[in-house]
Amino acid sequence: MSAVLPAVIDPIRLAEEGSSLNGELSAKEMPRLRDLIADSSVTAQIILRFSRNAQGRMMEGTVTARLQLVCQRCLGAFEQVVTSEVRVALLREGESRSGLAVDADFMEIAGPVSLTALVEDELLLTLPMMPAHPQGGCAQTAQRTEGDASAATAASPFSVLADFRRRQ
């Protein structure tokens, strides 16, 4: 079952101890992600294993969430499960990367790290640049929404400014 996760972690220490984290975090605590999703009452599932071996310290696992994304064509919400595979080599500040696993990302740890921000970063990296329904999957209202958008553009303050400049 899911445990309460610490808000702040020391990844280096967790790796030295061979610890793991298994639990959930609320999207409500993730302001950057919250701005991009239609429903922030969801949670992210976190499974992270910390280890130390001859190659160095590693943080590995998955971050998964079922998110309501906003379609950039019709502005309708749609559900997408996003999963981030985490494989990060943990370095102390100033520590050399040589000899570490070359297929992993690197994270230089200067002190305690916000677990929420770390999980939020992972989720943001998995989001599509332009979230959208599959081609042809938008609701009928999509056409009307696009019409409204172009009407708004015509009356934008920038075009007014352009007229103003021409008159100078």
Could you list the residues that contact Zn ion (CB under 5 A)? Answer: 71, 73-74, 76, 133, 138
Shortest reach from residue 75's CB to Zn ion, in Å: 7
CA atoms within 13 A on the CB side of 1: 1
Beta-carbon contacts of residue 99 (< 8 Å; ≥ 6 apart): 55, 56
Closer to Zn ion by Cβ: residue 71 or 82: 71
> Minimal distance in Å, beta carbon 81 to Zn ion?
18
Which residues, in sequence order, are CB contacts of 25 under 8 Å at separation 6+? 5, 43, 44, 46, 115, 116, 119
The minimum distance between CB 77 and Zn ion, in angstroms, equals: 9
- Helix, strand or coil, per DSSP, at residue 61: strand
* Residue (67 or 74) nearer to Zn ion, CB: 74
- 15, 61 Cβ separation under 8 angstroms: no
CA distance 52 to 39: 38
- Return the sign of the alpha-carbon dihedral for residues 50, 55, 56, 59: negative
Closer residue to Zn ion, CB minimum distance, 52 or 73 = 73
Q: Which is nearer to Zn ion, 49 or 133 (CB)?
A: 133
Query: Of 72 and 153, which has the nearer Cβ to Zn ion?
Result: 72
Ordered alpha helix ranges (H), 66-156: 115-126, 141-154
CB 156 to Zn ion: min, Å: 23
Q: In whole angstroms, how close is the CB of 137 to Zn ion at the nearest point?
A: 6
